[in-house]
Amino acid sequence: MISTNGTPAASTGHEIRPTIPDRIEDLGIPRSLVSDLVLRYLWMHGTGSLRSLNETLKLSFPILETLFHQFRQQQLLEVKGMLGNDYSFSLTTTGRAQATARYEVCQYVGPAPVSIQQYHEVVKSQAAKVKLSRQSLRHAFDDLVLSDSLLDQLGPSLIGHQSLFLYGGTGNGKTSIAERILRIYHDTVLVPYAVEVDGHIIALFDPVVHRTATSNDERLDARWVVCERPCITVGGELSAAMLELRLDEATHVFISPCQMKANNGILVIDDFGRQMLAPRDLLNRWIVPLDRRKDYLTLASGMKFEAPFELMVVFSTNLNPTDLADEAFLRRIQTKVLVEDISADVFDQIYHRVVSVNQAPSEPGCAEYLRERCAAAGAKYLRACYPNDIYKLVKAISEYEGRAVRLNRANIDRAVSLYFARPGPSR
C-alpha cells in the first residue's frame, strides 16, 4: 500500500493496482459505452482534442486514437485543425444526430467507469489488516481520555476490522471514539470514479467523503483515484433509500449508496435507533452483508447484482442493544463495547485537557467545583462532554460581555444554569 505520511502502511496481502489499459478490450466495459462517452463529450463541448478527452474521460491516448480513427472512417467527426501535435475536431451532422440519441439515454460525461468485476477484485485486495497494541491505540486516540480497559476492548475488534457496537450513556464519547477509528490506518486505497453494471453507470467517487492523496504511480489506471480510507457518518437522517442505488432522473446515472462509498473504510451509524429507518428494518437489510461481506443492489430495470461490502460498520447508541436487535443480528456484530459513565478522576482529566487545549485560565479547584454544580443541577452521572460544553458556554458569555475568557466559579455557575434544563412553572 502507499503510505501518505511516512509511517508503515497497513498490510493488505496481495494488492491489485490496475495499470493503464492501451486497448479498448482491456477496459473491461462495453465498447459501445466508451464510444458514447466520446460522442457525448463532443456534443456538449462542440469541439475537442485527444488531450481534452484524456483529461476528462481518463482514457489513454492509444485508446482515444483508436476511437478517433474509427469515428473518422464512420464520418462521425471532422478535423478542424491542429493543436501542436494534437488534433482539434468536432462532430459531423451524422455524428451530432448519433450523439443526441445517446445523450437522451444517458447524460454522463466524465471518467470512464470500471467494471463491477474489477471493482470487486480491487476492493477485496484492499481489505484492511492492521497490527495494534494498547500503546499504538492510545496514540491514535491521544486527544481523548480513555481507560486502558476500554482500549483493550476496542483493540480486538479493530484488528479484525469487524463491525462494532458502541453503547452507553449519552455524552460519554461514543461518537468521538467512532470518528477517530480511522486514525489506525496510515495507508491509501483506490476508489473508482464510476462503476459499470450491465451497461449502466454508477457514480462512486464523492469528493465530499473521499479525500484524495498524492501518488507517484504513473502506471496507475487514471479511472481510479488514490484516496485515504473513507469514513462516513450518518445519523437521524438515515433512510431506507440511502441504502439503495438512486437514479438521477436528470442524467440517468445511478448514485451509489453510503455503504458502497464507505468500502475499504468505516461507516458510522450515529445515534442508532433514532433514524427515520426503523432499527429492525436496517438490521434485516444488512444481516447478510455483515455476515458475508457482500451486498445486493437493484438497478431500475429490476436486475440485482452483487457489490462488495468490505467495510467496518460502527453502531453507536445510548439505547440498550437488546431492545434494538435480536440475537441473530447481534451475533453478526462480534464486538459490543460498553462506554461506561466516567469516574471523577477521568472527569477532572478531561477538564484539565480542555483548559490546556484552549489555553484558558482556570482557578484552582474548578474541576471539582464543576462536578458539584453538575450534580446539584440534576446530573445523575458524570458525562465526558460536560467540561468542553461548559467551556464553550463560558467562552460565549465572555465574548458577549466583551471580557477575557476565564474559568472561575462565577462563570461556571452561569454556564451550568444555561446548560441544564430546569423544571418549568407548574400550571
Residues in the chain: 427
Cα–Cα distance for residue pair 176/69, rounded to 1 Å:
56
Domain limits, the chain: 30-112, 117-129+155-338, 344-419
| Beta-bridge partner residues of 246 | 255
Q: Which residues contact 216 (CB under 8 A, 6 or more apart)?
A: none
Cα–Cα distance for residue pair 234/276, rounded to 1 Å:
11
Residue 5 pLDDT: 35
Residue 2 pLDDT: 40
Q: Average of pLDDT values for 158-171?
A: 86
Residue 7 pLDDT: 30
Residue 258 pLDDT: 95
Domain 30-112 fold is Arc Repressor Mutant, subunit A (1.10.10)
Looking at per-residue pLDDT, the higher value among 236 and 79 belongs to: 79
- Grid coordinates of 261: 462509498
- Grid coordinates of 134: 494498547
Q: Average of pLDDT values for 270-274?
A: 86
Q: Which amino acid is at 134?
A: R
Residue 8 pLDDT: 31
Contact 93, 99 (CB under 8 A): no
Contact 269, 313 (CB under 8 A): yes
Contact 211, 226 (CB under 8 A): no
Level-2 CATH architecture, domain 117-129+155-338: 3-Layer(aba) Sandwich (3.40)
Q: Which amino acid is at 375?
A: A
What is the end-to-end Cα distance of the chain in Å, rounded? 66
At residue 325 the predicted structure's pLDDT band, cuts being 50, 70 and 90, is confident
Q: Average of pLDDT values for 54-69?
A: 97
Percent of the chain exceeding pLDDT 70 equals 96
Contact 368, 382 (CB under 8 A): no
pLDDT in tens, 13-57: 478 999 999 999 999 999 999 999 999 999 999 999 999 999 999
386: nearest Cα among 374, 396, 397 = 374
At residue 284 the predicted structure's pLDDT band, cuts being 50, 70 and 90, is confident
At residue 9 the predicted structure's pLDDT band, cuts being 50, 70 and 90, is very low
At residue 273 the predicted structure's pLDDT band, cuts being 50, 70 and 90, is confident
DSSP-derived secondary structure letter, 184 = G
Residue 425 pLDDT: 61
Q: Please state the pTM of the whole predicted model.
A: 0.86
Mean pLDDT of the chain: 90
Helices (H), 141-200: 148-160, 174-180
Cα–Cα distance for residue pair 341/374, rounded to 1 Å:
14
Let me know if domain 344-419 sits in CATH 1.10.8.60: yes
Q: Which helix (H) or strand (E) holds 322?
A: helix 321-324
Residue 3, pLDDT above cutoff 60: no
365: nearest Cα among 296, 427, 412, 316 = 412
